[in-house]
């Protein structure tokens, strides 16, 4: 017994696939038309796309009972922004007897600790060294200006002194500002 496949079978199969695609396209176009009409009726802005489903957070029963902590934006030691996590388990470490809380290393924090739970460090900034350096440069500039005025007539010496004066003024302009003072300030921790 021999079977023969008719050529019409393959043809009818591709026709069916094309019909399904056409039907799906027509349905999509109809849905888009309905969505546009609904948007027009509600007064919303009409866009050429269908509204896509959006992800929605659904809180479970278990998550309502247990708090996993609180995230907040704070600053680190350098002053840059950082995401901080307040762990409720760490908050429970503090004794209920009114004793201060402990930090990560187990050290007890003083009442004057900051909002991150770390003790406040007090520092003193000293810019005396930079100020003395700038004062010396200003004095040197004054001396060079006086020497230029007193070297009247000696062109070679005047050029040499003006060259030194330009160097001192350049150095002074680089150092006599707040940025230089901050970079070269001395910080010491108060006890």
Which among 109-113, 170-174, 184-188 has the top mean pLDDT?
170-174
Is this structure's pTM higher than 0.75?
no
| 79/157: higher pLDDT | 157
- Spatial separation of the C-alpha atoms in residues 166 and 137, rounded to whole Å: 12
Give the Cβ contact number of residue 168 at 10 Å.
Answer: 20
Alpha-carbon gap, residue 117 to 67, rounded angstroms: 19
For 129, the 3-state DSSP assignment is: helix
For 110, list phi and psi in degrees, rounded to 5: -80, 165
CB atoms within 10 A of CB 134: 18
CB of 78 closer than 8 Å to CB of 69: no
- Taking residues 11-32, what's their average pLDDT? 82
Is the pLDDT at 138 greater than 80? The verdict is: yes
If you average pLDDT over residues 11-18, what whole number do you get? 70
pLDDT reported for residue 167: 95
Q: What is the DSSP letter of 75?
A: E
State yes or no: pLDDT of 104 exceeds 60. no
Burial label, 22 (beta-carbon count in 10 A; 0-12, 13-18, 19+): exposed
Query: Span 29-57, mean pLDDT?
Result: 72
Q: What is the pLDDT of residue 95?
A: 45
């Amino acid at each position: 017994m021999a079977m023969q496949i008719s050529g019409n079978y393959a043809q009818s199969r591709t026709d069916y696939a094309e019909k399904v695609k056409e039907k799906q396209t027509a349905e999509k176009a109809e849905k888009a038309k309905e969505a546009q009409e609904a948007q027009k009726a509600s007064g919303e802005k009409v866009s050429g796309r269908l509204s896509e489903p959006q992800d929605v957070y659904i809180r479970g029963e278990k998550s309502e009972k247990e708090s996993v902590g609180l995230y907040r934006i704070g600053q680190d030691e350098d002053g840059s922004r950082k995401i901080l996590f307040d762990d409720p388990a760490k908050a429970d470490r503090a004794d209920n007897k009114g004793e201060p809380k402990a930090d990560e290393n187990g050290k007890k924090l003083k009442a004057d600790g900051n909002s991150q739970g770390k003790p406040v460090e007090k520092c003193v900034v000293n810019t005396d060294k930079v100020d003395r350096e700038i004062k010396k440069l200003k004095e040197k500039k004054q001396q060079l200006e006086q020497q230029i005025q007193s070297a009247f007539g000696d062109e070679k010496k005047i050029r040499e002194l003006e060259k030194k004066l330009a160097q001192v003024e350049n150095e002074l302009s680089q150092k006599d500002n707040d940025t230089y003072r901050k970079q070269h300030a001395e910080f010491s921790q108060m006890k």
